[in-house]
Structure 1
Amino acid sequence: MMKTKAVRLYGKADLRLEEFELPEIKDNEILAKVVCDSLCMSSFKASNQGADHKRVPQNVDQHPVIIGHEFAGELLEVGSKWAGQFKEGDKFSIQPALNYKEGPVGILSAPGYSYHHIGGDATYVVIPNEVMELGCLLPYKGEGFYPASLSEPLSCVIGAMHANYHTVPGSYVHNMEIVDGGKMALLAGVGPMGLAAINYVLHRKDRKPSLLVVTDIDQDRLDRAATLYTPDFAVSQGIELKYINTSKMKDPEKELKEISGNEGYNDVFVFAPVAPVIKQADAILGFDGCLNFFAGPSNPNFEASLNFYNVHYAYTHVVGTSGGNTDDMKEALDVMSKGLDPAGLVTHIGGMNAVIDATLSLPNIPGGKKLIYNHVEMPLTAISDFKKIGENNAVYCLLAEVCERNNGLWSVEAEELLLANAKALNY
């Protein structure tokens, strides 16, 4: 049997780091090593809601589940059923939204929420048969592991773009997708998922807006986004990109609409569950515009006003998306193989020992994605702090040098350095 160390959920805000034995794999299962997992706000919600969460089993207090669903690793042992399709040593990512009607909690079953032996915050896991049956075990052939871990959040914004729709006047045909050559706005758009959306829009080849406006009220985050995804690069891709601090505008709705040429925006994405932001999004929509409410609220009674006159007469559309499907994850892995580096999402690195505190405190930790290396012991550390800590620690000093060469970002080189020297961190 294989021992694993994992963070398991027992109930509301009850996470425990434990070591236990995994069962021997069946012929239709796969044993895997998890290298890294990126922490997600969805895990924060599940950890705080416990059995009240739709994906968490009712008996979680007696049969705890492993949390984490944005993970990547390496296959160690492949059951005979899958030996012709997968092999030992393959790198992988997993689509957690299985939509499997016979799972532990029904159709919403998902690794990271519903399973006893698979989740992202574990050193080793048993991948159940349904993951392979549903095509949700996805090979990753790129360098390193963290891009595969981040393919899940990237797939969420890919799915959001695909979910928007527009109509043909006089017909009942819905054209799925953003408007090619249209005007797009990302509101509260420089958090982790907003950055992923910017990155994807700028690297997309099949369709893209002519104008992309990204708003927020945090100037530091806007400035960082502008250095990662520059207006000059956007121009090279045929896109006019503007970063706007709406807290400095007297009348944000009026001024944002003026930037669009007073036509309004074809596609508006809301990345924060804040009622005034939703109202602002509604106000800047153009005719036949689509508002995508991406940021799922924790409050089941969350409400915001919407102009229903425009729903009727201006063909306003409203959709809500949160996750991508398997095809979206495949697209994420493909676009990364063609040059998209998701490292701009990551601002903190940590080890398995940091998972519990980081997950339960996630909304209060500034920055972007928190990337966990499961076989490492390391406090959750901002990449920007590596240099200071490196004054007294050789490993952090080396990590700081590598990240500085990469515009302050994480990289495959930094990942390899950390994994090779983890035992010498001496924090």
Structure 2
Amino acid sequence: MKTRAVRLYGKKDLRLEEFELPPLKEDEILAKVVSDSICMSSYKASSQGAEHKRIPNDVAHNPIIIGHEFAGELLEVGPKWAHKFKTGDKFSIQPALYYENGPVGLLSAPGYSYKYIGGDATYVIIPNEVMEKDCLLKYEGEGFYPASLSEPLSCVIGAMHANYHTTPGSYEHKMEIVEGGNMAILAGVGPMGLAAINYVLHREDRKPSLLVVTDVDQSRLDRASMIYTADFAASRGIKLLYINTGKVDDPIKVLRELTGGKGFDDVFVFAPVRQVVEQGDAILGFDGCLNFFAGPNDTNFSAMLNFYNVHYAYTHIVGTSGGNNNDMVEALEVMSKGLDPAGLVTHIGGLNAVADTTNNLPNIPGGKKLIYTHIDMPLTAIDDFGKLGESNDFFRELADICRRHDGLWSVEAEAFLLSKGG
């Protein structure tokens, strides 16, 4: 079978190509990819090429298919896996395999390391190790885009689970955020920050009593506050505040005052900016945990931490990157109970838009860029559908659908798009 895919050959060298997939082996699965959301990690992979830890050294001669936040439908299941999967199953994939014999060893991952599987393709071959590691996950919800976004959602789920706290006089660490505590999400209205807010507001088993979200972009704060409202948060027993730290003289003082001077139990940093990291450290309360979520490009990135507080106030720091299988399962489960990740999505495009979008991702405003691999469509902001619809019936209908869903992407919009070309 032929596939069209965006392949990485080296630094910023992404090419949309058509080529033959090899014959399916008995321990493999042939799948149709429907959607892929573009991640900043893909930008980093493209920018670094073979220097990236997940990219094979011989990528110039054996290119890999890029994209790791994807969903689709199984077309043919090899005999080895016929007892577990069947043709027609919808799927999502946990890309962090931790597979020692993969193309780059332990860090091998679809979307970074493989010739025949990645999210920015029409058809892929899912290799045996994905199933062996239980990383092929059935998706039984509506549409496909929620399954694509289960991967970024799993990353913030993993971050929440990775935070920990201590008991004075004991060496036992208690994993998780503090129930009923104070939480801050700094630089928190980008795509991953929005995913974190959404998860915190919908989580059933554990939640803070105070959630403060900061940024310096007022338009993004305004959008976040309209999607994830203070009223909804209050109905969940959470006081939610959005703060523009760029408009106050002393952000640390303002943020600490919101806790009555106690400080925050859990702080999540969503931008690799020294000032933001140091701000997060300064607002920690006793036994506060700072999670440095944002992965920097700079291998020498560093920031100052208050080690007096480390010693006397038990403050500490963790870093997380990605989620595990359990986090993906939880992401799919929480979506089945009402969490809609549509608020993360601000742009829609086709396979032809992947290369330029990936290579220029930091320069494109907004949230997640959602790709539908069986259509050709320039990357287009949902907010622009209405204007484009003045002279284009396709965009007029899309704009009308999005308006019916409070200006957001939806299963209805996806179904219309796929009916026209996917």
Per the alignment, residue 7 of structure 2 pairs with 8
Per the alignment, residue 391 of structure 2 pairs with 392
Q: How does 1:94-109 map to 2 (within 5 A)?
A: 94-109=93-108
| Alpha-carbon distance between aligned partners in 2 of 1:399 and 1:97, rounded to the nearest angstrom | 34
CA deviations over 1:5-60 (Å, ceiling 9, x no partner): 00000011111110000011100000000000000000000001000000000000
| Alpha-carbon distance between aligned partners in 2 of 1:309 and 1:18, rounded to the nearest angstrom | 56
Per the alignment, residue 277 of structure 2 pairs with 278
Per the alignment, residue 327 of structure 1 pairs with 326
Per the alignment, residue 141 of structure 2 pairs with 142
| Alpha-carbon distance between aligned partners in 2 of 1:294 and 1:406, rounded to the nearest angstrom | 31
Per the alignment, residue 269 of structure 1 pairs with 268
State the 1:215 CA deviation. 0.3
Per the alignment, residue 83 of structure 1 pairs with 82
Secondary structure, aligned partner of 2:103: coil
| Alpha-carbon distance between aligned partners in 1 of 2:51 and 2:165, rounded to the nearest angstrom | 35
Letter in 1 for 2:33: V
1:341 aligns with 2:340: yes
1:357 aligns with 2:356: yes
Secondary structure, aligned partner of 1:353: helix
Secondary structure, aligned partner of 1:349: strand
1:182 aligns with 2:181: yes
Letter in 2 for 1:301: N
| Alpha-carbon distance between aligned partners in 2 of 1:251 and 1:146, rounded to the nearest angstrom | 40
| Alpha-carbon distance between aligned partners in 1 of 2:48 and 2:420, rounded to the nearest angstrom | 37
Secondary structure, aligned partner of 1:15: strand
Secondary structure, aligned partner of 2:188: coil
Per the alignment, residue 409 of structure 2 pairs with 410
Secondary structure, aligned partner of 2:305: coil
| Alpha-carbon distance between aligned partners in 2 of 1:230 and 1:12, rounded to the nearest angstrom | 41
1:44 aligns with 2:43: yes
Stretches (4+) displaced over 2 A = none
| Alpha-carbon distance between aligned partners in 2 of 1:319 and 1:77, rounded to the nearest angstrom | 42
Per the alignment, residue 63 of structure 2 pairs with 64
Task: Tell me the percent identity.
Answer: 75
Secondary structure, aligned partner of 1:366: coil
CA deviations over 1:183-205 (Å, ceiling 9, x no partner): 00000000000000000000001
State the 1:422 CA deviation. 2.8
Q: CA RMSD in A?
A: 0.6
Secondary structure, aligned partner of 2:348: strand
1:240 aligns with 2:239: yes
Q: TM-score, normalised by structure 1?
A: 0.98
CA deviations over 1:316-354 (Å, ceiling 9, x no partner): 110011200010000000000000000000000000000
| Alpha-carbon distance between aligned partners in 1 of 2:145 and 2:341, rounded to the nearest angstrom | 9
Secondary structure, aligned partner of 1:222: helix
Per the alignment, residue 291 of structure 1 pairs with 290
| Alpha-carbon distance between aligned partners in 2 of 1:313 and 1:6, rounded to the nearest angstrom | 54
State the 1:250 CA deviation. 1.1
Letter in 1 for 2:411: V
| Alpha-carbon distance between aligned partners in 1 of 2:420 and 2:95, rounded to the nearest angstrom | 31
Letter in 2 for 1:357: D
Per the alignment, residue 207 of structure 1 pairs with 206
Letter in 2 for 1:140: Y
| Alpha-carbon distance between aligned partners in 1 of 2:393 and 2:96, rounded to the nearest angstrom | 41
| Alpha-carbon distance between aligned partners in 1 of 2:387 and 2:22, rounded to the nearest angstrom | 44
Q: TM-score, normalised by structure 2?
A: 1.00
CA deviations over 1:210-229 (Å, ceiling 9, x no partner): 00000001111000000000
Letter in 1 for 2:47: N
State the 1:236 CA deviation. 0.2
Per the alignment, residue 255 of structure 1 pairs with 254
| Alpha-carbon distance between aligned partners in 2 of 1:255 and 1:141, rounded to the nearest angstrom | 44
1:133 aligns with 2:127: no
State the 1:102 CA deviation. 0.6
| Alpha-carbon distance between aligned partners in 1 of 2:207 and 2:136, rounded to the nearest angstrom | 29
Letter in 2 for 1:338: K
State the 1:248 CA deviation. 1.1
| Alpha-carbon distance between aligned partners in 2 of 1:111 and 1:82, rounded to the nearest angstrom | 19
| Structure 2: stretches of 5+ with no match in the other structure | none
Secondary structure, aligned partner of 1:295: coil
CA deviations over 1:347-368 (Å, ceiling 9, x no partner): 0000000000000000000000
| Alpha-carbon distance between aligned partners in 1 of 2:111 and 2:73, rounded to the nearest angstrom | 17
| Alpha-carbon distance between aligned partners in 2 of 1:217 and 1:405, rounded to the nearest angstrom | 30
CA deviations over 1:223-262 (Å, ceiling 9, x no partner): 0000000000000000000000011111100110000110
Per the alignment, residue 380 of structure 1 pairs with 379
| Alpha-carbon distance between aligned partners in 1 of 2:133 and 2:99, rounded to the nearest angstrom | 8
| Alpha-carbon distance between aligned partners in 2 of 1:181 and 1:303, rounded to the nearest angstrom | 31
Aligned length: 422
| Alpha-carbon distance between aligned partners in 2 of 1:51 and 1:313, rounded to the nearest angstrom | 44
| Alpha-carbon distance between aligned partners in 1 of 2:342 and 2:152, rounded to the nearest angstrom | 12
Letter in 2 for 1:325: N
Secondary structure, aligned partner of 1:141: coil
| Alpha-carbon distance between aligned partners in 1 of 2:184 and 2:35, rounded to the nearest angstrom | 32
- Give the stretch that moved more between structures: 245-254 or 86-95: 245-254
Per the alignment, residue 311 of structure 1 pairs with 310
Letter in 1 for 2:357: A
Secondary structure, aligned partner of 1:371: strand
1:167 aligns with 2:181: no
Secondary structure, aligned partner of 1:363: helix
Letter in 1 for 2:399: A
| Alpha-carbon distance between aligned partners in 1 of 2:10 and 2:386, rounded to the nearest angstrom | 38
